[in-house]
């Protein structure tokens, strides 16, 4: 029996790529946490790029995901033109 409660799920039947955003019902029950304190979990399937590094101040994880997934997860606005930065920010190298 799973204790996962799905928030959003998508998987491409052709290549298996997808994501699963969920919460674990035991986090709230065992941890006596309310909804705002309960963590959520994100699983990514068949992704192309993952970078993990360990630093003095903690861990760093970077995952490349398609913009379509980011939109569906609410990380980017639904308008394709709106998710492009107007100018190169401080974290982008000048070309």
* 90 lies in some domain: no
Is the pTM higher than 0.75? no
Could you report the per-residue pLDDT of 46-80, keeping only the tens digit for each? 888 788 887 888 788 888 888 988 898 888 998 76
Parallel, antiparallel, or unpaired for β 18-24 and 4-11? antiparallel
* 11 lies in some domain: yes
DSSP bridge partners of 53: 60
Q: Dig out the tokens for 19 from the structure.
A: 């994501």
Could you report the per-residue pLDDT of 3-38, keeping only the tens digit for each? 899 999 999 999 888 999 999 988 866 766 676 778
- What is the total count of domains within the chain? 1
* 40 lies in some domain: yes
């Amino acid at each position: 029996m799973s204790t996962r409660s799905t928030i959003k799920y998508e998987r491409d039947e052709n290549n298996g790529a997808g994501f699963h955003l969920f919460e674990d019902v035991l986090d709230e029950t065992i941890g006596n946490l309310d909804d705002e304190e309960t963590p959520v979990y994100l699983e990514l399937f068949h992704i192309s790029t993952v970078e993990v590094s360990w630093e003095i101040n903690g861990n760093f994880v970077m995952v490349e995901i398609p913009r379509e997934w980011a939109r569906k997860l609410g990380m980017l606005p639904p308008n394709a033109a709106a998710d492009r930065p107007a100018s190169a920010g401080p974290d982008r190298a000048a070309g």
